Amino acid sequence: MELIRTEMTPLERAKAYAAGEEVDRIPTTLSEGETIPPLYGYKMHDYYFSADVMVDVESRMIEDFDSDNAGMGLGLRTMVEALGTELAYPDNSVSYIVKPGMQDFSDLDHMELPDVRKDGRFPIITEAFRRLIDQYGDVRGFGSGLAGPFTTAAELIGTEKFLIATVKNKEEVHRLLQFTTDCIVQCCRDLNEMLGIKFMLSEPMGAKNLISKRQFKEFFLPYLEQAVRRMNEFQGSTGLHICGQTRDRWQEIADSGVSSFWMDNCESLKDFRDQFGGQVALTGNISPVDILKNGAPEEIETEIIRAIGEAGDNPMGYTLCPGCTTPMGTTKENMIAFMNAAAVYGKGARKGVMPKGMAGRL
């Protein structure tokens, strides 16, 4: 299967779409990142610790798929590792936490904000970004994403200990959340100044599946709002991704100041678009496992028609994307099928208007 090549560069497309002009293809991302190195013959461990491998993988993804996203994600664990969390790096799967960086809330008394110039894997990732921007910066924008304040706090001290403390030790939870908010804002600001890239926040711990509405409003929301407000000062806008069920907190998300919401496939793009499409841009929400990884090209096409039909005319804009990270083991054929369906059914897209490629499909 050959990739359908589009007319505009990603940078041209992004600028025109934001300005309300018609573009050749609806903005489309694969969110492939750290799960894709095995597709190109690399061990995961080697990818995590080599700027050369990162640059090669990103460059080959750009050539093979030409999606609108580019750049290495900081992911859910780069920050906590820089703060002392011990990670394991298997050859054939993503990293995972072995030992949290904090054993007790009192450890916070001795914690310092990380320095992206020297701590953890930040210098490796920064070097890879510099080289990619030098090579492709004239035709595409670069960005990254990282865990938000709540998820970072949970990973830094351990999820179970953290959630128990939201009931039994609220003052210390707030202290930790302020610290993680400061870490995120400073690191993103420093990297923005160094590289000119923007960041989105990922908060898998913010879903209804994991925390109650009370916890969300008391502990999650204030620090999300603060982080977004402070990040917007240097990057203009900030998007949010939450895995899992979020419907009962859509109002709070829409009012939090985020510019876009990347929605999981378990929720309805249409319902969010109907209620909050005038406030927030939408991203999502093709099933990453059932459709993108395990589906046939025809099933991918059908789901993309469904997703664009639900959100392609969102007043604040829409980006076609899987509901979460592209799973490891997804074939090149399926990712090309994804991009090709986007080119066909997302043709002639304009913010707030259904793409011309959807004519006769609704």
Q: What is the pLDDT along the chain (362 residues), one digit of tens a residue?
A: 899 999 999 999 999 999 999 999 999 999 887 899 999 999 999 999 999 999 999 999 999 999 999 999 999 999 999 999 999 999 999 999 999 999 999 999 999 999 999 999 999 999 999 999 999 999 999 999 999 999 999 999 999 999 999 999 999 999 999 999 999 999 999 999 999 999 999 999 999 999 999 999 999 999 999 999 999 999 999 999 999 999 999 999 999 999 999 999 999 999 999 999 999 999 999 999 999 999 999 999 999 999 999 999 999 999 999 999 999 999 999 999 999 999 999 999 999 999 999 998 87
Burial class (CB in 10 A: 0-12, 13-18, 19+), 269: buried
Strand-pairing partners, residue 350, are 353
Domains of the chain plus CATH, in order, are: 12-41+56-74+133-357 (3.20.20.210)
Identify the pLDDT of residue 33. Answer: 75
Identify the pLDDT of residue 361. Answer: 86
Identify the pLDDT of residue 159. Answer: 97
How many whole angstroms separate alpha carbon 233 and alpha carbon 34?
A: 29
- The phi and psi torsions of 80 (rounded to 5 degrees) equal -70, -30
The structure's pTM equals: 0.96
- Amino acid letter at 32? E
- Amino acid letter at 314? N
How many whole angstroms separate alpha carbon 30 and alpha carbon 66?
A: 10
Q: Torsion angle, CA of 357/266/297/270, rounded to 10 degrees? A: -10
Burial class (CB in 10 A: 0-12, 13-18, 19+), 84: middle
Residue found under tokens 């502990």: 219
SS3 207: coil
| Structure token digits, residue 236 | 């203009």
- Cβ neighbors of 7 (< 8 A, separation 6 or more) are 24
Query: Buried (b) or exposed (e) across 50-79, using 16+ Cβ within 10 A?
Result: bbebbbbbbbebbebbbbbbbbbbbbbbbb
Neighbours of 17 (CB within 10 A): 22
